[in-house]
C-alpha cells in the first residue's frame, strides 16, 4: 500500500465560521465531516485496522501460550501457572493499550493533515511522541470527570464538554496535560450548550447507524460478533473527524488560538474534583454502616428471640387494655 493516497486534497469546507463569528450548525458540521471522511476513508480505516490486527495476534499468542501451559502444567505448581498467566495477561493488556493510544494519536494526526494526504505510516511516525501525553492527559481527564460525576453528576457532564478537545490540542497546538485541558475549556467558553447540542446530534446519528448495523448483521448470527470491530473501523474515525471539525471551527472563531485561561478555572475544577472523590469513601462507608446495622439487628433477633417476643406481648396487652375504635360510614363504634 502506498503511503500517500491518490485522492485530491480536501478544500476549505463550506461550513467554516464566517467573519461575523457564527458557529456552523450540526448539519453543516456533518457535511464538512463527510467531505473529509470520504476523501480520507482509506487512511482512517487502515489506521484503526492496525490495533485490531494486533489484538487478534495477541489473542492467538495468548491461546497458544495457554495451550502450552496446559501441556506443561504437570511440571509446575498451580500457583506458578496462575502467576505466569497473570503476568502474560498484564503484558498483553499494556501492549494493546499503548498501541491503541498510539492509533488514536495517529488518527488525529491523519485527520489534521487531511489536506496533505498524509499516509498511514507517516501518521503513526508523527504520532509516536504523543503517546505519553495522550496517556497521562487521559488519566487526568478521567480523574477530573469522574470526580465531577461523583459530585452530583452535573459537574461531570460539564467537564466532559469542557475538555473534549484536549487530545486534539495535544497534537495540533503541542500543549500537554492541564494546559491542553484548560485551552479546550476556553474554546468551549460561552458555547457550551451549542457544543452539547451538536454532540447529542452526532451521538444520536451514531446510535442509529450502530443499531442498523446490528440489525443487518443479526440476520446471520455468527456475523454479529463483527459489529464492534466494524463500528471501530468505520464509525470511530467519523466521530473523531466530527469532533475535529467542531474544534477547528471553534479555533477559527477565537482567531486561531485559545484565549488565556481565566483565573480560578483550574482551582474550582480541582476543588470539585477533590470533593467528588472524597464523597466516594463517605458513600461507601455509609452503605457499609447501614448493612452492618441491619445485620446487627438481624443477629439480635436470632440470638435473643425473647426480646422480640416481649415486645410483641407488650403490644398485644396494650391493644387489649386500650380502646380501639373503628370508623364506619355511620359513625364511630367503640369496642
- 9 vs 116: which has the higher pLDDT: 116
Confidence of residue 85 (pLDDT cuts 50, 70, 90): low
Reply yes or no on whether the pLDDT at 89 is more than 70. yes
Residue at 315 is within a domain: no
Residue at 185 is within a domain: yes
| Least-confidence region, from 61-65, 83-87, 216-220, 322-326 | 322-326
Residue at 41 is within a domain: yes
Count of H-run helices and E-run strands, the chain = 13, 2
Please state the domain count of the chain: 1
- 230 vs 76: which has the higher pLDDT: 230
Reply yes or no on whether the pLDDT at 265 is more than 80. no
What does the pLDDT average to over 180-184? 89
pLDDT value of position 72? 53
pLDDT value of position 289? 81
Residue 13 sits at φ, ψ, to 5 deg, of -65, 155
Which residues constitute the domain of residue 244? Answer: 26-262
Residue at 285 is within a domain: no
Confidence of residue 15 (pLDDT cuts 50, 70, 90): very low
Confidence of residue 95 (pLDDT cuts 50, 70, 90): confident
Confidence of residue 5 (pLDDT cuts 50, 70, 90): very low
Spatial CB neighbours of 232, under 8 Å, sequence gap ≥ 6: 48, 52
Residue at 221 is within a domain: yes
Gyration radius of the chain's alpha carbons: 30
Residue at 329 is within a domain: no
| Least-confidence region, from 48-52, 139-143, 187-191 | 48-52
Reply yes or no on whether the pLDDT at 137 is more than 70. yes
Residue at 206 is within a domain: yes
Centre a 10 Å sphere on the Cβ of residue 335 and count the other Cβ atoms it contains: 6
- Whole-model pTM: value is 0.72
pLDDT value of position 19? 43
Residue at 98 is within a domain: yes
Spell out the alpha helix ranges (H) of 163-264.
166-172, 177-188, 192-217, 227-230, 236-253
Among 247, 235, 233, CA closest to 164: 247
Amino acid at each position: 500500500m502506498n503511503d500517500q493516497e491518490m485522492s485530491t486534497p480536501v478544500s476549505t469546507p463550506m461550513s467554516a465560521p464566517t467573519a461575523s463569528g457564527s458557529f456552523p450548525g450540526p448539519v453543516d458540521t456533518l457535511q464538512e465531516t463527510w467531505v473529509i471522511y470520504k476523501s480520507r476513508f482509506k487512511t482512517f480505516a487502515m489506521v484503526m485496522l492496525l490495533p485490531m490486527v494486533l489484538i487478534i495476534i495477541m489473542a492467538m499468542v495468548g491461546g497458544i501460550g495457554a495451550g502450552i501451559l496446559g501441556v506443561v502444567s504437570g511440571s509446575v505448581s498451580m500457583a506458578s501457572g496462575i502467576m505466569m498467566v497473570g503476568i502474560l495477561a498484564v503484558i498483553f493488556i499494556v501492549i494493546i493499550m499503548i498501541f491503541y493510544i498510539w492509533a488514536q494519536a495517529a488518527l488525529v494526526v491523519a485527520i489534521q493533515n487531511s489536506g496533505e494526504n498524509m499516509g498511514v505510516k507517516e501518521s503513526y511516525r508523527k504520532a509516536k511522541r504523543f503517546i505519553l501525553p495522550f496517556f497521562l492527559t487521559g488519566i487526568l481527564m478521567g480523574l477530573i470527570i469522574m470526580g465531577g460525576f461523583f459530585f452530583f453528576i452535573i459537574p461531570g457532564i460539564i467537564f466532559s464538554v469542557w475538555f473534549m478537545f484536549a487530545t486534539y490540542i495535544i497534537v495540533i497546538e503541542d500543549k500537554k496535560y492541564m494546559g491542553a485541558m484548560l485551552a479546550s475549556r476556553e474554546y468551549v467558553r460561552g458555547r457550551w450548550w451549542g457544543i452539547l447540542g451538536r454532540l447529542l446530534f452526532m451521538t444520536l446519528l451514531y446510535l442509529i447507524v450502530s443499531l442498523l448495523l446490528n440489525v443487518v448483521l443479526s440476520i446471520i448470527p455468527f456475523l454479529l460478533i463483527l459489529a464492534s470491530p466494524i463500528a471501530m473501523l468505520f464509525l470511530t474515525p467519523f466521530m473523531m473527524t466530527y469532533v475535529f471539525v467542531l474544534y477547528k471551527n471553534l479555533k477559527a472563531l477565537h482567531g486561531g488560538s485559545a484565549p488565556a485561561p481565566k483565573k480560578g478555572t483550574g482551582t474550582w475544577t480541582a476543588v470539585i474534583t477533590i470533593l467528588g472523590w472524597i464523597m466516594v469513601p463517605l458513600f461507601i462507608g455509609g452503605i457499609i454502616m447501614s448493612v452492618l446495622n441491619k445485620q446487627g439487628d438481624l443477629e439480635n433477633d436470632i440470638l435473643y428471640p425473647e426480646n422480640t417476643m416481649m415486645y410483641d406481648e407488650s403490644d398485644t396487652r396494650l391493644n387489649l387494655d386500650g380502646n380501639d375504635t373503628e370508623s364506619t360510614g355511620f359513625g364511630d363504634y367503640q369496642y
